[in-house]
Amino acid sequence: MADLNVSTEFSQARALSEHAESARPRFRSFAWRVISLHMITYFVFGVLAYLILDYREVFETTE
């Protein structure tokens, strides 16, 4: 009976381990999402800053 419990516990642990491995996102897709979101965010806020802070006037003055 003890062998059966150990075997069952081992099988459950192995199944959980395999599930965790398959559920873990790959680094490449994670990195792509982070990099692309970072680039989009900087682009959007750069355009907003250009429009709101009126950079054209700031760069045209020679003070």
What does each of the 63 residues of the chain score in pLDDT, given as a tens digit?
555 555 666 676 676 666 555 556 788 888 999 999 999 999 999 999 888 988 778 778 776
Contact 55, 49 (CB under 8 A): yes
Contact 25, 32 (CB under 8 A): no
pTM for the model stands at 0.50
Residue type at 32 in one-letter notation: W
Q: Let me know if 50 is exposed, middle or buried by CB neighbors in 10 A (0-12, 13-18, 19+).
A: exposed
Q: How far is CA 13 from the centre of its chain?
A: 28
One-letter amino acid identity for 52? I
